[in-house]
Structure formats: structure tokens, C-alpha cells
Structure 1
Amino acid sequence: MSSRFHASTVDRLGSWIASGNVLPGQSLKVEADLCEELGISRTVLREAIKTLVAKGMLQVGPKVGTRVMPVRNWNLFDPQVVGWLAQHGLPENFVMDLLDLRRTIEPVAVRWACQRATPEQIAEIQAAYRMLEASMGDKDAYNDADRRFHEAILAASHNQFIEQMLPALGAQMAVSFEVSSAVPDELGQTLSLHKDLADAISARDVARGVWVCMTLIERSAVTISQHYPELFAPREQRMSTP
């Protein structure tokens, strides 16, 4: 079985599960039926299932068969898993938890970037900002540039753990940016803040950089909560959820 065919099958099956065809706690169909529905062989299916087990999406047992796990068990630091969820509707509290993660990691990364960024990395951050500025009016291009901008800042932190998390953090932040950028005029209103952030890092102004970073995150939180309240649950409700 070619690696390309395996990857394609994993993508199809993972997306199929993320779309809610089988709910968490439920078991997949018997192999023969699932193979027929997906148009694949049993060998291909079994190898794909192994991959999704490793991603935390499935559990295989002698008595339960192949069961879909709750989303909280899925590897949300896997860019592919995040991509599947984004395609088919984000789970409850995903955006809230993502914003909490950004509040935890990004301001610290900005602090370190101000202190540790090389001249080449500062140039990359400024180049990413210029891409943002040039892509106004093109949402897809803007989101790509936005991701490049924030990933450049994370990389400039020179923290090996953050650097290894870049693919996952980039995918997660892309979800946040995609939601907030759907709001009319939001891109233009935050562009100046991105410039302030790039300039603060270039000037190695830690206090300014951290303040602008937090302002961007909180603005995103307010925008999303106002225009997409269904993505937010009251804090009390979250605390009481098992």
C-alpha cells in the first residue's frame, strides 16, 4: 500500500468521523460495511484505523469494537485533526479554550521574541506584516499572511518546545483568525495593531509588544463572542460540565 493512498484514506476516514457520522461513544460499522461505504480494502481500513487510534480519535477493543472517542481525547495539537474539526463544525468550547491557549503562549513568545529575535527573524516578521498590508481585500491571502506573521513571532521566541508546536499552533490560530476575520471590517481595524506589534519587536520593546499582543487576542475574543455567541458557553456552565 502506497504512503499516498494510506494518507488519502486516513484523511477521508478522519474527516468522515469529524463530520459526526458516528458520535463519540458509538462504534464504527463492521469492517465489510465500512469498506464498502468508503470503497477501500480491509487492509487499507485497518492501517487507517491504527493511525486514527494514535491521534486519539478511535479506540479498538475486543468487546467494544472500534469506537469513536470524545473530542477531548483527540490530539488537538495535530494539525490534521484541527483541520477536520474546522471543516465540519467546531466542538463546544473549542474557540474559548483556543483563546485561553493563545493568552497563555503568545504574550510570553512575544516577550522572548523582543529579547531573542535575530535580525533575520525581525526582517521576516516585518515582511509578513507587509504581506498583511498588501493582502487587504483578499480574505484568504490575509489569513495566510496572518498565520505567517504569528508563526514568525513564535519562531523568534527561540524556545524549542514552542518551535516544535509551531505546526499545531499555526493550525489552531488559523481557526481563530478564520472566525474573527469573517466579521466585516475586522481586518482593517486590526491591521494597525499588527504593525504596532511588528514595530515593538523590532525595537525590542517588551512592554509594548506584550500589551499589543494581548490587545489583539482580547479584541479577537470580543469580536467572536459578539458575532458568534454560539461558540461560547458561560464560564459557570463550563465549570459544571463533567
Structure 2
Amino acid sequence: MAANDQKRPRVRGDIQASIARSIAKGEFAAGENLPPEAELAQKFGVSRTALREAIKGLEAKFMVKSRPRVGTSVLPQEEWAILDQDVLSWIADLLNVNIFIEAVLEARRAIEPAAAVLACRRANLTDLSRIENALNAMSAATGNPDAFTDADLAFHEALLMASHNPVFAQFVHSVRAGLNLMLLASNKSVEDYSRTIASHKILLDALTMRDEKAAQNASLTLLAHANEDLKRKNKT
């Protein structure tokens, strides 16, 4: 019983990943129905119950929609929860990374400068300390893109949380996987992190001084630098 309980999540995840990748590759086109339950269950060597659990997981991520007496149809890619950690991991190597990263950057341009302005008004000492700690971690991680990206992500999460806007706070959770992918690509495109650290420091200083215009400009400059780094990477 315990062994089955431990195995089921892995099996469900394997089925979800396989179906998701088939959908992403176009084997099951948008609007089409997936094969019948019995056929899929036999293909994966699992019970119909396990298959249904996997399908429900894909439905929760808006990749498919199940309807009684109709079947399970594939939804258009625009509806997929593409920022979901699982979805992104399933289809990452089938994704046009450049287009995806540009979309994440567009969203950040719309949200982060506004969050910086709100943080100037609302951030408390704990918020500012969290942002500063992330910046210190970035400085300590130079030469290690993965560790630097972790700290970079923590900085931007702390900034959004410091806005004390509940919608911006949710943005942190919804884009974490996509933001991590973008930051890692940007950070791997340069060998010297001094400009990145300096631009983050300017933003922190503006927040500390409660200078809304300076914070907004610093956020925009920081994002412009990230865009430049990504374009440089694409040219090499």
C-alpha cells in the first residue's frame, strides 16, 4: 500500500509529461480529442484511475478540457499555464525560448517599475533588509551563474513583495519559473556581473531614499540592461 502511494505521483507525473510533450509537438492538435481512455491506459500500462488523475492534472494546467460524453480535447497553446513550473519543464526544449523570454520581459516592464514606486511608499525595514540581503548574495555569487540567478530572483521577488500589493505578490508565484529561466539566460550571457550588481544597487538606494522617480527609472534601466545582455547572447 505504501509502495503504491509512493509510486503513484511519479507515474502520474510521467504520464502528464508524456502527453504534454505530445501535445506540444503537435501530435495532438488544438481542438482534437485525445485517444480514448482505454487506449491511453494500455499505452502507458496504467489503470484508468491513474490515467484520469493525470488528465485532471493537465486540465488544471489548461492544456486539455474534459467533457462528459465528448471526451478530452486539447486546448490552444495560448490557454496553457505556460508559466507553471511543471508545464515549463515538460515543454522547455520545444519552446521558442527567445519569444518566451521577450514575453516575460514585457510583463516585467509593465509591473516591476510600478512595484518599485509602490515599494518606495510602503516598504518597511524588513522589506528593505530582504532586498539588501539578496543584493549581497548576488555580490557573493559572482562567477557562479546558478547561485547568482538564485540571488537575482530573490531580489526581484523581494521587490514585488515590498510593494505590498497582493496582485503583485501573486505575480511572484505565477512567473517564478519563467523569470528564473529569463534571469539565468541573461546571467549566462555575461562573464562580468559588475554592471548587473550596480544597477540593482541603484534601485535599492532609490528605495531606501523613498525616491519614487529614481526607483522607477532604476527598474527600467535594470530591465534594459537585461535585454541588452540577452540580445548580445543571441548574436554570439
Query: TM bucket by the smaller chain?
Result: 0.7 to 0.9
- For the aligned residue pairs, the C-alpha RMSD in angstroms reads 2.7
The answer on whether the counterparts of 1:71 and 1:91 sit within 8 Å (CA) in structure 2 is no
Match of 2:228 in 1: 222
- Tell me which amino acid in the other structure corresponds to 2:10: S
CA contact 2:28–2:34 (8 Å) conserved in 1: no
In structure 1, what is the equivalent of residue 18 of structure 2? 16
Q: After superposition, give the CA deviation of every residue in 1:107-138 in whole Å (9 maximum; x if it has no partner).
A: 11111111111101101110011111111111
Tell me whether 1:127 sits opposite 2:133 in the alignment: yes
Does 1:71 find its partner at 2:73? no
| C-alpha distance 4-56 of structure 1, shift in aligned 2 (>3 A) | farther
Structure 2: runs of 5+ lacking an equivalent: none
Relative to the length of structure 2, the TM-score reads 0.83
**Is the CA contact (8 Å cut-off) linking 1:79 and 1:167 kept in structure 2?**
no
Is it true that 1:143 corresponds to 2:149 in the alignment? yes
What is the identity, as a one-letter code, of the residue corresponding to 2:159? Answer: I
Q: Equivalent residue for 2:95?
A: 89
The alpha carbon displacement at 1:11 in A equals 3.2
* Cα distance change, pair 212–17 in 1 and its aligned pair in 2 (3 A): farther
Q: 2:210 corresponds to which residue? A: 204
The 1-side partners of 2:5 and 2:168 are apart by 29
User: Aligned to 2:18, what secondary structure does the other structure show?
Assistant: helix
| Paired residue secondary structure (1:67) | strand
Summarize the Cα distance change of 1:24–1:217 in structure 2 as closer, same or farther, 3 Å threshold: farther
Tell me which of 91, 105, 108 is aligned to 1:99.
105
**Mean Cα displacement is larger for which, 117-126 or 48-57?**
48-57
8 A contact 1:77–1:165 mirrored in 2: no
SS for the counterpart of 1:53 is helix
- Residue 169 of structure 1 and its aligned partner are, at CA, apart by 2.4
Deviates more, 1:152-161 or 1:204-213: 204-213
1:68 deviation in Å?
Answer: 2.9
Q: 1:3 to 1:206 in 2, by over 3 A?
A: farther
- Percent identical among aligned pairs is 33
Amino acid at match of 1:142: F
1:155 aligns with 2:161: yes
- Which of the numbers 162, 165, 172 marks the counterpart of 2:171? 165
Does structure 1 retain, via aligned residues, the 8 Å contact 2:84–2:175? Answer: no
How many residue pairs match? The answer is 229
Structure 1 residues 14 and 209, CA, compared in 2 at 3 Å: closer, same or farther?
A: farther
1:141-165: CA deviations, max 9, x gaps?
1111111111011100000111123
